[in-house]
Amino acid sequence: MIKPDFSQPVPDDLGTIHFIGIGGSGMSGIARILIGMGHKVTGSDLRDTSNVAALRELGAEIFIGHDASNLGTPDTVVVTSALWPTNPEYVLAKELGIPVIHRSQALAYLTTKKRLVAVAGAHGKTTSTGMIITALLELGIDPSFVNGGVIAALGASSGWGNDDLFVIEADESDGSFLHYDTAIALITNVDPDHLDHYGSLEAFQAEFAKFANNAKEFVAISSDDSGAIAVTKLLRDKKVLTFGRAAGSFVQLTKIDASGPKVSFEVLVGGLSLSATLRIPGEHNAINAAGALAVLVGLGYDPAESLSAIATFDGTERRFELHGVSRGVSVYDDFAHHPTEVAAALRAARAVVGNGNLITVFQPHLYSRTRLMHKEFAEALALSDQVVVLDIYAAREDPEPGVTGALVSDSFIDQTKVHYVPLWEDAPAVAASLAAAGDFIVTMGCGDVYRMVPELLKALEV
């Protein structure tokens, strides 16, 4: 992966912009807004995805595959940290002296002169961001936004609004979340991740503390997560609004019922006792809603109206998203890629599947994460009845000797529950053979495992 060069100044006028890796949720969202602002946008990506198709409809010229000839003559090039330094378009842009900026710099450019709400955390930030955006719209506010996933009700991950609020999902994976002029920071949790970049848990937490201390108005942060509690202790002279089960939290969660397809809960906030039922499952989503409520109340909106507005949120793509039913088997997809996320997603799925079995097709993401957390992944995945483990989606990393998906499958205590299937083409048939009517199959991971869904549905027909 490339190291972002934040010393590269952002041009006053981005002009014609070329995105390398334009199909990602964050990149495509930024591109969408820039097209709407009148910029000519070109780009490239490895695959022709729905994001790519949507941008083409808006007028973007997009190439599939990376080649120096794709670059053209842009005024600015936008990249992500997941890019290889040998990418031919990136190399040529550097050789030609074209300004190459990180996507967080492009996003910071867009948020200039707006009141920025930045949502960060190891888990839950896409959903929490989506809840805030949905609620603001429901309350009659017209915010600008860029989320890390498509908000189901809007069919988009970004939008340009007329009000002064700008809501974004801020990426902590490479430290780029420090480069925003943040007014309000929401920290969902600080569960250890990306230690390949930070080197230690202490450094990871210190970076979150910098992010929170940069917030000019207030910080909303979990009162339950141990990492968030550690970060809170590092904050100085900040207005802090806590949320969680802990007594005395600004938004205190009580009476969570996550036993069915919709999670219900109560909150104590501002002397009021309020209740809500979300349209999505899972105890983790009640926690996400509490964080979103802390932000909205901190912004000055009525607590009861804000909670009702949050409850209209229908979810985002790739978060326990139903794609089809075949032979009575429901096939879902979920983005979870950290043990904590995997456990939360599977508990929510368990509440929905009822008496059926839960079959998870899991694609590990990153060699470093798999090496460091293979035992934790096995423990989380064991919440399923059966698990099919694929090989690792490398993303921005080179292979590591001896690190494969087998590290995860070999860590299962009960080996009858797990099947290591390193060949992609074999996995759909294996998963389908494990499923009966009333069961769920869930593809899980933040790589390209979602592309297996049509193959799974087809395999179930056999």
What is the tens place of the pLDDT at every residue in 410-432? 999 999 999 999 999 999 999 99
Homologous superfamily in CATH for domain 321-461 = Mur ligase, C-terminal domain (3.90.190.20)
> What are the tokens at 74?
């842009």
Q: What's the distance, CA 53 to chain centroid?
A: 21
pLDDT of 384 above 90:
yes
Residues 103-108, mean pLDDT to the nearest whole number: 90
Positions of CATH 3.90.190.20 in the chain:
321-461
Structural Rg of the chain based on CA atoms = 22
Angle between helices 303-310 and 125-138 (to 10 degrees): 120
Please tell me the distance from the alpha carbon of residue 207 to that of residue 173, in angstroms, as a whole number.
10
Q: Which residues pair with 326 in a beta bridge?
A: 329
pLDDT tens sequence across 279-296: 999 999 999 999 999 999
Q: Indicate the average pLDDT of the chain.
A: 92
> Could you read off the pLDDT of 317-327 as tens digits, one per residue?
888 889 999 99
Q: Cα–Cα distances in Å, from 398 out to 106, 394, 423? A: 27, 7, 19
The DSSP result for 420-450, as a single string, is: E--SGGGHHHHHHHH--TT-EEEEE-SSSGG
Instruction: Evaluate if residue 382 carries a pLDDT over 90.
Output: yes
- pLDDT for the residue 198: 55
Q: Which long-range contacts (CB under 8 A, 24 or more apart) does 58-63 make?
A: 58/32, 59/35, 60/22, 60/31, 60/35, 62/22, 62/23
**Length of the chain in terms of residues written:** 462
Indicate whether 451 pLDDT > 70: yes
Residue 193: count other Cβ atoms within 10 Å of its Cβ. Answer: 26
What does the block give as tokens for 285? 């989503």
Q: To which residue do tokens 């969680």 refer? A: 244
Instruction: Check residue 63 and give its pLDDT.
Output: 97
Has residue 197 got a pLDDT over 60?
no
Mean pLDDT of 176-205: 81
Average confidence (pLDDT) over 143-147: 95
Q: Strand 165-169 and strand 115-120: pairing?
A: parallel
pLDDT above 70 (res 146): yes
Which of 136-140, 345-349, 392-396 is predicted least confidently? 392-396
Handedness of CA 406, 408, 409, 411 (dihedral sign): positive
Single out the residue of 254, 306, 260, 315 nearest to residue 282, CA to CA. 260
Give the mean model confidence (pLDDT) for residues 26-50. Answer: 92
Q: What is the mean pLDDT of residues 69-83?
A: 93
Write down the pLDDT at residue 4.
66
Average pLDDT over residues 154-160: 90
Long-range contacts of 157-161 (CB under 8 A, 24+ apart): 157/25, 157/26, 157/28, 157/29, 157/32, 158/28, 158/29, 158/30, 158/32, 158/33, 159/32, 159/33, 160/33, 160/36, 160/37
pLDDT tens-digit series, residues 343-369: 989 999 999 999 999 999 999 998 888
Among 16-20, 241-245, 271-275, 444-448, the range scoring the smallest mean pLDDT is 444-448
359: left (phi over 0), alpha (psi -120 to 50) or beta: beta
Look at residue 403 in the predicted model and tell me its pLDDT: 94
Q: What is the pLDDT of residue 204?
A: 85
CB 408, CB 381: distance < 8 Å: yes
CB 143 within 8 A of CB 306: no
> In the structure encoding, which two tokens stand for residue 276, read together?
């809500």
Residue with tokens 């869930």: 442
Per-residue confidence band for 193, with pLDDT thresholds at 50, 70 and 90: low
pLDDT value, residue 225: 94
95 is catalytic: no
Both structure tokens of 160: 């340009």
Note the pLDDT of residue 395: 75
The CATH number of the structural domain formed by 113-310 is: 3.40.1190.10
Active-site position among 89, 169, 172, 207: 169
On the question of pLDDT at 195 being above 60, the answer is no
Q: What would the mean pLDDT of 44-57 be, rounded to a whole number?
A: 91
188 catalytically annotated: no
Cα end-to-end distance, the chain, whole Å: 41
| pLDDT value of position 434 | 97
Model confidence band, residue 405 (pLDDT cutoffs 50, 70, 90): very high
Using the predicted structure, report yes or no on whether residue 71 has a pLDDT greater than 60.
yes
CATH architecture label of 17-102? 3-Layer(aba) Sandwich (3.40)
| Known catalytic residue at 126 | yes
The pLDDT-based confidence of 446 (bands split at 50, 70, 90) is: confident
pLDDT at 240: 97
pLDDT confidence of residue 457: 96
pLDDT at 126: 92
Catalytic residue among 49, 80, 111, 125: 125
Residue range(s) occupied by CATH 3.40.1190.10 in the chain: 113-310
- pLDDT mean over 43-58: 91
Q: Which amino acid is at 284?
A: H
Please write the tens of the pLDDT for every residue from 222-241: 999 999 999 999 998 999 99
User: Which is catalytic among the residues 126, 182, 316, 443?
Assistant: 126
Please tell me the predicted confidence (pLDDT) of residue 1: 64
